[in-house]
Amino acid sequence: MITLVELKNGKKAIIQKIEGGPGLKNRLEVMNIREGKTIRKTCAAPLRGPVVLEIEGCKMAIGQGMAKKVWVEEI
């Protein structure tokens, strides 16, 4: 398993585990980022910028700190 930060741009993965407290998990849940979901990392801004994800046709950005707590398995 790798984190979202380590996932290469353009690759798809399945979310395996989310580390963190209930606040982080709830915030990600609202954005439809939860265990078992298939996501695609579209890009990551340089210099610790946000990570842009696509889930079920919707694009969203999350910070590097959050992305480091989301563990995925590349498919």
Task: Write out pLDDT tens, residues 3-60.
Answer: 999 999 999 999 999 999 999 999 999 999 999 999 999 988 777 889 999 999 999 9
The residues that bridge with 31 in the sheet, in sequence order, are none
Residue 72 pLDDT grade (very low, low, confident, very high; cuts 50, 70, 90): very high
Domain ranges of the chain: 2-74
pTM: 0.88
pLDDT score of 54: 95
DSSP code of residue 20: S
Q: Is 62 or 49 the better-scoring residue by pLDDT?
A: 62
The residues that bridge with 53 in the sheet, in sequence order, are 41, 60
Angle CA 62–68–73, to nearest 5: 100
Under CATH, which architecture does the 2-74 domain have? Roll (2.30)
pLDDT score of 45: 79
